[in-house]
Amino acid sequence: MSIPQLQKVPAPSVVVTKMMSPPPARKNLVFKKTTTDKSIAVYLGKRDFVDHVSHTDPVDGVLVLDTGYIKDRKVFCRLLCAFRYGREDIDVCGLKFRRDLYMTTVQVYPPPSGEKPKPQTKLQERLARKFGDRAYPFCFQFPDYLPCSITLQLGPNEIDKCCGVDFQVIAFCAKSCSYDEKISKKSSVAMVIRKVQYAPDKPIFQPMAKTSRQFLMSDKPLHLEAKLNKEIFYHGEPVQVSVEVINHSNKTVKRLKITANQISSVVLYSHDKYSQTVAEQEAEEQISPGSTLNKVFSLYPIIANNREKHGLALDGKLRHEDTNLASTTILKEGIDREVWGILVSYKVQVKLIVSGMLGDVLFSDVAVELPFMLMHPPREHSAESDADGDDIDFEDFDCRGPMAVTEDLKEGQESDSSVP
């Protein structure tokens, strides 16, 4: 019996892990969210920040403050990345099912003395012209070791928060930025953002795998070869699988089964690995001894066909938007895999069901696997970054408006834990 041989194909730099590409952003759209006491309003020009592997888009925004209400208190802004793996309202022996992967805090008001003003982005300049001296800009840079936003799909009867990685921009009033500082719920606000990746701009290769199986009491082998039409597929695209079977053996191939599988590796705390089929096609193609088969099969790995599957990895989800299967995530060389929390990969498996020694009583399998990447198409230059003028379309995220499902939601409002 020969060993399956995988033809050398350039593989993604890790396959760690949408439907169609997201609609283009509206020109001059700004997202806004305000504290309950109206003392702080957070303004962001976008909620998706692209990880280009070599660097990630900075999180730039503006806080608009009611300094008369704030008085002698200080205002801080915080970028928080957390991994959730259970309900936060359950406390077991003092342990919470949440781990903060990254947190950085800056003082926005009053501006720290002796610190030189940083150059402002176009968004910050427009908001400064609109709000005058009430506007205070802030900016965060993502470190290169942080994961992308990802969530695990809940079951049909589950209403709790999702497990996964999420990011928040948090603004609050306090005497100091100490982690133990007591923060007023009415003077704090959190807005969920996402860190996302798009398909790399690189040559497309054609993955191919083949194997030969020599059966007992058969002079000649059975050959199986499979290939994909490309390496990177965009969300919503069919995955085309070309299958060639040459049956020189004395066995009969009863049927073929072609599947696209998602493999999720939880590396942060357990090193568990889960595999789920996200698309499949089964063909009752009988290939008799001495015959051949050449056929192309189409698989559709989309969320619309997988909404009932518990634990399926999805891109980070916002409450007012639909999401998609988790995109393939590319790790920068040298990055600690464990910090990424959940790694997701995709592969196509082509399996032949072959009659066994007792004919139809026993069967054996002949299979090959092909890795592929599932991502968004390369993102075009964002229109809002070049938008001129002071006309701004605000989308207000108040306590009853759109917010992320990864935030604590109770009766339509955020819980106290949104601000550590």
Domains with residue ranges and CATH for the chain: 29-197 (2.60.40.840), 208-375 (2.60.40.640)
CA angle 237, 242, 246 (to 5 degrees): 165
Is omega for the bond preceding 110 within 30 degrees of 0, making it cis? yes
Q: What is the dihedral of CA 152, 156, 159, 162, to 10 degrees?
A: 0
Residue 154 pLDDT > 50, yes or no? yes
**Closest by alpha carbon to 237, among 345, 344, 377, 343?**
377
CA end-to-end span of the chain: 60
Query: What is the rounded distance in angstroms from the CA atom of residue 268 to the CA atom of residue 254?
Result: 42
The amino acid present at 148, given as its one-letter code, is C
DSSP label at residue 263 = E
- 225: phi then psi, degrees, rounded to nearest 5: -135, 135
Answer for the pair 277, 299: CB distance below 8 angstroms, yes or no: no
How confident is the model over 53-88, as pLDDT tens digits? 888 899 999 999 988 888 888 999 999 998 877 555
- Residues in contact with 150: Cβ distance below 8 Å, sequence separation at least 6, in sequence order: 17, 164, 165, 313, 314, 315, 316, 326, 329, 341, 342, 344
Range from 89-98, 114-123, 291-300 carrying the lowest mean pLDDT: 89-98
State the average pLDDT for the chain: 78
Q: How confident is the model at residue 147 (pLDDT cuts 50, 70, 90)?
A: confident
Reduced to 3 states, what is the DSSP secondary structure of residue 239?
strand
Ramachandran category for residue 164: left, alpha or beta (phi over 0 → left; psi -120 to 50 → alpha):
left
pTM for the predicted model, two decimal places: 0.76
User: What is the structure's pLDDT at 415?
Assistant: 35
Answer for the pair 57, 79: CB distance below 8 angstroms, yes or no: no
User: What is the structure's pLDDT at 210?
Assistant: 93
Answer for the pair 49, 84: CB distance below 8 angstroms, yes or no: no
User: What is the structure's pLDDT at 158?
Assistant: 59
The amino acid present at 351, given as its one-letter code, is K
Beta-bridge mates of residue 151: 164, 314
- Residues in contact with 369: Cβ distance below 8 Å, sequence separation at least 6, in sequence order: 6, 209, 347, 348, 349, 350
**Closest by alpha carbon to 135, among 214, 274, 58, 40?**
40
The amino acid present at 142, given as its one-letter code, is F
Reduced to 3 states, what is the DSSP secondary structure of residue 159?
coil
Residue 404 pLDDT > 50, yes or no? no
Answer for the pair 169, 190: CB distance below 8 angstroms, yes or no: yes
Range from 198-202, 238-242, 341-345, 399-403 carrying the lowest mean pLDDT: 399-403
How confident is the model over 326-371, as pLDDT tens digits? 998 787 777 766 667 788 899 999 999 988 655 444 567 899 999 9
Q: How many Cβ atoms are within 10 Å of 300's Cβ, its own excluded?
A: 15
Answer for the pair 195, 175: CB distance below 8 angstroms, yes or no: no
pLDDT (mean) for 145-167: 77
The tokens describing 193, both together, are 């953002």
